[in-house]
Structure 1
Amino acid sequence: MLGQVVCQYCGRTIEYFESDRVVVLYGVDPECEHRSEPCEDED
């Protein structure tokens, strides 16, 4: 099943399969591949 999430940082729509790792990695706070690890310092 194909789903869609929106990057919490840039608002880009990310398409993913239900079994895709993006669900595991990003969960309820999805991010684009340009930011694989959320920065705690929003400088």
Structure 2
Amino acid sequence: MKHLPIKKEDKPRHKEWFNRRCELARMEREKAWRRWRRSRRPNH
């Protein structure tokens, strides 16, 4: 993933899209984390 310089005149549409992508990525990461924790719990 290339690091792009953030322009001050950023388009609101791009910002919404970026926030939505971040939100989806966070949800996916939390889901995977919970699944991993649940699968490891019986070992403890």
Higher strand share: 1
Higher helix share: 2
Point out which structure has higher relative CO (alpha carbons under 8 A, 6+ apart). Answer: 1
Report the TM-score when normalising by structure 1.
0.22
TM-score of the aligned structures, taking structure 2 as reference length: 0.22
